[in-house]
Structure 1
Amino acid sequence: MEYSLPASLVFHRFRKLVLCLMPLAFCLAAGPLSATTSSTTASQAAVRGYVLWYRNYDSPAIRALVELALKKTPEYGEFQIIRSEELSQGRVLRELTDGQSRLVDIANVATSAEREKSLTAIPFPVDGGLLGFRVCVVMPESLPRFAGIKTLDDLRDSQIRIGQGAHWPDTPVLEANGIPVVTHSRYEILFGMLRNERFECFARGVSEVLYDLELEQDPNLLIEPDLLIAYPMPSYLFVGPEDQETAHRLQLGIERAIHDGSFNDFLRHYYARAVKELDLDERTVITLENPYLSEESRYVGRKTFENLRRRLEVLSR
């Protein structure tokens, strides 16, 4: 089975889709894609295994979204989601780009123009765009350093160092805005670096930070209560450049979930708690520029960013 979905066509369709879905898919104007082009039937005996990057597999929200998309496309056959080896984000992207490796089939990461050129993106923000809104995980002794920060200039002058992954696209965004960044290739190591005072803020997306801290089980790790660092940073599902079948299945499944309301239910189930518990509507927003997005993702990110206040109001109900 072969599909040819040029990137420009996919982005054009999703540009219109994202515009009508803001905020968080509550406006439905586009119907689902037709699946008549698929010759795959539900009667196929083989079960297709999809290897999901372990960080995404271990995230209840992302694994649930992938499962939702696959369940919405039964004509592609039965499926199984498999946890990948514990690979760094940089290694995952290389394996996907290679196209010959079966170490990973699907990964959810923040987008960049470079990633969209080398991989196939399913260009819909998986968390409604919340990844670009970040809070600081800190140690208690660092909290006084955040007092009085109201602007980007204040944050720069404070010389607070932010910890990030070496291969994360957030790193050059922060650096481009004049913020000191300390990096490591492994996500897990960054928590130890925070404890050892290698940096003062581990910036985590509001859609992931509560889950992070539940896994760490460390009462000394706190969420700084006042700041929200915001920049356009859509987070997409990615597959290999030649894996058009998987790309089409995920895209079709997400569109069907949007159309029947189950994507809306997914967002509320996994992300409403974070909006409420982090008091996002009460925080001081520090806005950064992201010069590394493609034209299409810059559009998606801008619309997401412009709808921040309304989106938070909807999820906090």
Structure 2
Amino acid sequence: MLEQPTTVQTNNNIKRFHINKALTVLLCACILASPSLRANTVPSKDYILWYRNYDSPAIRALVELSLRKTPEYGDFRLLRSEELSQGRVLRELSTNRSSLVDIANVATTAERETFLTPIPIPIDGGLLGFRVCLVMPKNLPMFSNIKNLDDLSNSNIRIGQGSHWPDTPVLQANGVKVITHTRFEILFGMIRKGRFECFARGVSEVLYDMEKEKDPDLVIEPNLLIAYPMPSYLFVAPGDHETAHRLQLGMERAIIDGSFAEFLKKYYGRAVELLSLHQRSVIVLDNPYLTEDSWNISRMALENLQRRLDILSR
């Protein structure tokens, strides 16, 4: 016959049950409260970054910084996408089910913000809208008398841009002659063949372009700075709320703790200094293709141009 538990044993068992239950609840609460512990319970995730962003040391570094600042979402790997055109990348993201790309950094437009999810923080502090010209040395004299928009519009200078880039309609809306192609890499061959005279590149891009091309026949025109409201955001698929939240939270934490400012200084301070932006003639263009929020962000970037240059050149 089995021995029946005594009243004391039963009470002790009940006490142990309640103690174990309380410890379990406490442990769960600690895990939820601690990002480092919570990260260990979340599986690692792969994020596919558009190849042109992945190949850019600055953009890749910012995405990695944002992901590192959010350990509660788990570990991650950042992968390079296939070599897709900008138009193809945006179409892939818009499908909400792409296996080719998860994150892309491009200039924003009102249209892009309607069919994709933007992280509305300019990744380069607004510098993408400040552009200089890559030119062939023989064409430098064409730029010597360009001082304002009328001079540029009435000249024989044609600007090369990507077919899907939002810069193209902005330039055209301001009366500037534009030649386009769907592939970024092809544009370098086109300027060498004389298809256009200026390949307008962002201040945050041009030195990397020069280092990658390693072409002594391409030079940076020294006197002009073309400026227009053009914030550059990270974009994800419209239904990918988790990645959007993670990237925005990471960037906000980086801004608060100062690491975003360190990132800007590290990757763009050199460009401000080497391009002598303080000494250039600034031609300001209008951008009619922005949402009101993005226009306000860009307006502040233009109004604070001098302050930004001063900070980055220190």
Normalized against structure 1, the TM-score is what? 0.87
Partner residue in 2 for 1:205:
202
1:102 paired to 2:99: yes
Distance in 2 (alpha carbons) for counterparts of 1:214 and 1:44? 42
Distance in 2 (alpha carbons) for counterparts of 1:189 and 1:274? 24
Distance in 1 (alpha carbons) for counterparts of 2:62 and 2:224? 29
Alignment of 1:72-83 (within 5 A): 72-83=69-80
SS in 1 for 2:40: coil
Q: Which amino acid aligns with 2:306?
A: R
Identity %: 69
Partner residue in 2 for 1:6:
none
Between 1 and 2, higher relative CO (CA 8 Å, sep ≥ 6) is seen in: 1
Partner residue in 2 for 1:20:
none
Partner residue in 1 for 2:239:
242
SS in 2 for 1:50: strand
Distance in 2 (alpha carbons) for counterparts of 1:198 and 1:44? 56
Q: Which amino acid aligns with 1:152?
A: L
Map Cα deviations across residues 208-246 of structure 1 (whole Å, 9 max, x no partner). Answer: 100001000000100000000000000000000000000
Distance in 1 (alpha carbons) for counterparts of 2:219 and 2:130? 17
- What's the offset of the Cα at 1:281? 0.5
Q: Which amino acid aligns with 1:223?
A: I
SS in 2 for 1:43: helix
Distance in 2 (alpha carbons) for counterparts of 1:261 and 1:301? 21
The match for 1:177 among 150, 174, 177 is 174
For the 8 Å contact 1:42–1:75, the answer to whether it is kept is yes
Q: Which amino acid aligns with 2:102?
A: D
- What's the offset of the Cα at 1:43? 1.0
Map Cα deviations across residues 105-138 of structure 1 (whole Å, 9 max, x no partner). Answer: 0000000000000000000000000000000000
For the 8 Å contact 2:42–2:73, the answer to whether it is kept is no
Map Cα deviations across residues 163-216 of structure 1 (whole Å, 9 max, x no partner). Answer: 000000000000000001000011000000000000000000000100001000
Partner residue in 1 for 2:266:
269
The match for 1:310 among 307, 310, 314 is 307
| Structure 2 residue runs without a partner (length 5+) | 1-31
Distance in 1 (alpha carbons) for counterparts of 2:303 and 2:216? 35
Partner residue in 1 for 2:131:
134
Partner residue in 2 for 1:70:
67
Alignment of 1:42-61 (within 5 A): 42-44=39-41, 46-61=43-58
Give the number of the structure whose residues are more often helix, by fraction. 2
For the 8 Å contact 1:44–1:78, the answer to whether it is kept is no
Q: Which one has a bigger Cα radius of gyration?
A: 2
Aligned length: 283
Partner residue in 2 for 1:23:
none
Partner residue in 1 for 2:282:
285
Runs of 4+ in 1 over 3 A off after TM superposition: none
RMSD: 1.6
Map Cα deviations across residues 244-284 of structure 1 (whole Å, 9 max, x no partner). Answer: 00000000000111111111110100000000000000000
Q: Which amino acid aligns with 1:67?
A: E
| Structure 1 residue runs without a partner (length 5+) | 1-34
1:151 paired to 2:166: no
- What's the offset of the Cα at 1:41? 2.2
